[in-house]
Structure 1
Amino acid sequence: MSDVTPLGTAGSRITPRLVESLYTEAMLLADEARTYFDAEGRKDRGGLDPFVRVGFACESLKVTTRLMHIIAWLLTQRAVETGELSPTSGRRPERRLGHAGSSDPAVVEQLPADAQALIASSVDLYERVRRLDEEQTIDQPASSPARALMGRLERDLIWNAPR
């Protein structure tokens, strides 16, 4: 895979290197979440209040849902890169990043620290991928070189903003 060939639209920040990096991060996080929720999380869940246990279960499903949406979107980007899908096909609504429900901060704060960390990591990764997905739908062709430069500066400011 080339490190500089942009995917999607002209001027896109989505490169094969970025897709691979995000894919690796998503798969590692998915493995970490599976390990936690299947083993250590079961022990942590046992000591929780019954209502908090329900919240724990819901949040574990939300983490899984976020990660599966991310992985599916990244695999779509790979398919565009390899030519299995056309660049415009990758922007069709059914190939966009799926919606993942938000976590309830009041529930999350009652959960064990490890669960909170996994939830926060999945939300952070989802938001980064969501911004990339939205970037692909911006179909505002630059009417001048100055506007193109302004668009790149604006994207860079958004990408480099503190999280």
Structure 2
Amino acid sequence: MAGKSRRGDGVTVSFGAKFAQSDQFKIVFREGMALVEAAATYLDGDGRKEARKLQPPHSLAYATESMRLTTRLMQLASWLLIRRAVSEGELTLEQALEEQRKIKLPGKGSDQPTRDFSALPPRLKELVAESIKLQQRIVRLDQMLGLEQAPIVEDADHPLSTQLSRLRAAFGTDPD
């Protein structure tokens, strides 16, 4: 019964539901969304300027790492938004599980930097490092919460679609 505990009165309590309403989750959520915002601002502003100054192969390394950063943050933000939507009653657990199936949280050690990582602008390297730390926290939380897989529920018009569209627009990417 991963992610659940029994109270003395025989009632099963979902740790995941309690956690998503906790101050700890709110802190992780705020940090995650602030990182998404910081990365989007950097990549659309100073990052573009810095990228133009790079010569091959460093320009390729910049493009690769910025794309990986964007993808990683999209996945993490999606995870956070889904957890929050469930705790606020915007999604049922079944809907959340269906949405969560689309999120691919990477395994440990899967984010090896590109060969020319050390030549990249310091701010990009900081953002990558921060995103990897956040990713590790979320992967641990996801494993700790360990929701059982529920049957697939078709719901194309769910409350997260607007928020996910905003994230895609901010990064100019489509996670699929």
For normalisation by structure 2, the TM-score amounts to 0.63
The whole-number CA distance in structure 2 between the counterparts of 1:51 and 1:99 is: 28
Given candidates 63, 68, 77, the residue that maps to 2:69 is 63
One-letter code aligned to 1:38? D
With a CA cutoff of 8 Å and minimum separation of 6, indicate the structure with the bigger relative contact order.
2
8 Å CA contact 1:19, 1:77 repeated in 2: no
Which residue in 2 is equivalent to 1:99? 105
Q: Which has the higher helix share?
A: 1
8 Å CA contact 1:14, 1:132 repeated in 2: no
The whole-number CA distance in structure 1 between the counterparts of 2:74 and 2:95 is: 20
1:134 lines up with 2:143 in the alignment: yes
Aligned length: 131
Once the two structures are superposed, residues 82-114 of structure 1 have per-residue CA deviations (whole angstroms, 9 ceiling, x without a partner) of 234444654x37515423562425332221111
Once the two structures are superposed, residues 48-79 of structure 1 have per-residue CA deviations (whole angstroms, 9 ceiling, x without a partner) of 22121111011111111111111111111112
8 Å CA contact 2:72, 2:131 repeated in 1: yes
- Unaligned 5+ segments in structure 1 are 1-7, 140-163
- Unaligned 5+ segments in structure 2 are 5-13, 149-176
Which residue in 2 is equivalent to 1:123? 132
Which residue in 1 is equivalent to 2:25? 19
The whole-number CA distance in structure 2 between the counterparts of 1:138 and 1:76 is: 13
Deviation at 1:117, TM superposition (A): 0.4
Identity %: 32
SS of corresponding position for 2:19: coil
The whole-number CA distance in structure 2 between the counterparts of 1:87 and 1:56 is: 38
8 Å CA contact 1:73, 1:95 repeated in 2: yes
Cα root mean square deviation, aligned: 2.5
The whole-number CA distance in structure 2 between the counterparts of 1:20 and 1:137 is: 19
One-letter code aligned to 2:33? M
- Could you say if the C-alpha distance between residues 57 and 84 of structure 1 is closer, same or farther in structure 2, counting changes exceeding 3 Å? same
The whole-number CA distance in structure 2 between the counterparts of 1:93 and 1:109 is: 39
